[in-house]
Structure 1
């Protein structure tokens, strides 16, 4: 037997919204054999826009029972039947959440008439309840009221049962089927086609826009994990409703998946990705030539489209590093913006040879600045990280050159690489960020990789 359900609520997510009306039609698949309907006092004021949509007012529910008063009766109707609804996860998540609050554990099989409609009646322009019923000439009385919508869903379900020549309903009810977990607009074929290998996956909305990017060691398992459970929060419910398709890009290794995910989040700025979208408050050494021809090292906030000579997170770390360069290469602290006092402390400490007072030629001073920069770059590690490819006969490669992320790519196992420059022909250059640099550094430490520039 099937319990065909529709509810009206005060909002779009169960954890912060109440139920204002419940309708349950018990059906054998063709005929309705019993029904239950009731208004419910949600215990909160009904928003004006909800009243405008459903017609349910605060006055109408003032004398209605609270959910706790009818929870046992509702649970008894649902617990031994297959739960059927249009966009089933919405109704199910609400009732499961509110029943659990009063000690009832709802755990039944589910069927979604949106998903079944797409399979059994393919080709319609829309599968919303109103449009689908219109296409199938099913009348809806009292639209956006629980009783009217549940009755229309029961008639729709009967038509689905009668037209189900290929066993879509039976297939959806099999223990191995995960359709009842999936978002209503996501084709199950796309989920089944996902590979069990590392990579990045993309959730797209109705217009094809990417709304979420994720990384995975196993794409298939990770994607399916998004749809298990019954989190009733607004963010999750809205997220699931907006997923209409999935695409993916396989990578050879999990590390490459982490890197590609970060790159794609920065590139696409998806609506439901929240991490890695903060602006990185990092600093760097920048080089410029002043009007007198002296090269000057300056600490500045990182610029969006200009790579610094050297990067660091804390200003104090940068100042300490620059002070050590000033001492080691006998540079002028004034020209490096380490002091504003007109009396150069470098003269007293014998590190400055008078460049700040134009007593040392720019060419001589600049040579030491360039030596300092070269020293900085030589200190930075270089790593070539080889790993599995996306298939047999292929290997992956990630290149960090002198502390900078160059890029990554794939090459056949037969390719012989004799130099870093030769390797670059097989790689795709990518922009870097601190997250990616830390990933590679941590990986190198964990694996005990020695720097090529050590």
Structure 2
């Protein structure tokens, strides 16, 4: 009986998780037309790059297996003939579709398909169930895969899931759910739809406002339009997501050149605007760190300092970030116990003479002259090594340039002593920012963001070593 629109179920295997760099090693598909299986097609693909060992461990596809397989260019025509005019159906469809688009783009083509994600379908059909991965679905319906983590095995598993759902819920309910997902999100009538029509799938930040024109939620994405529309897809993971979609009355958006720019702008706007549904990136003043004294006679050797008082230029002597003073004290006790550090020198225990820990064999005796202070201090410093905050590795201000090749939008993000200064898009603004003296304030979110961004030193511009040319 016909109960499905025309779909092509597809699964790919790849050399990794990033379409920009990784390549496809296998494609398998099953074509359903008029409710009947019309095409079963699969092929190994030579990715023209080595397959990492951990990927082979997962999929079983080795470099030897693909050595004489066709390249994607050689199978692209056949593959496209099976995809053209069909609804691409995959588990976590964004992954498979992203790789297919990247491969066709390398050949100078543009792949545009309507998509159906079976993860979203499972969530819609079974909203109260936890776990919608293929493994979870296999356990739920007692399904079996002939070759899990291979293209055809996982493709057939998706079909088996639909058949099981049809028997469990009925064909009509499954078809209604599929048609709902294919129709896409229904935008509330009170929203200005022209704004959403203007948004493109580019990196950036969006701002939702409530009926009082107060900021409700700020989000970021490398695909703005898709992310904004997802808020209205009724595929809610939390109550908060549902509440946001119901309360939003106005939308603003700001395009950035890349993901880093979106992350920085989101963090900046959340702290400035304090939207009611953003909690992780809000200003948090009650954070603490441990400051290590660098002088033997400067007691106590460890002091708990408020993050507000943290000088970005003195991070070389700072350790850990703690949400409470108790968390900082707990670490001090843990290290003292593990490395036999004297609690008197750490400022935890008062009085003169031997400490209590020494009496029970948990202090090396520095408090009674049985160990030199210098050696004791060195052991304390070594015990703190894994908690150390990194010192700023540059002489002054640096920049990271981002370019979106699709839109040619270019931005330079400027930093100093782990602090975010500004983002500029012109030589004039760049010169002004580099020459301006900023009042620096430590921010944990920015510290973490910059740490990741600066790990790729090829993108870093040191302004004391280069001219101030933006392009």
- Give the shorter-chain TM-score range: 0.3 to 0.5
Larger CA Rg, structure 1 vs 2: 1
TM-score where L is the length of structure 2? 0.43
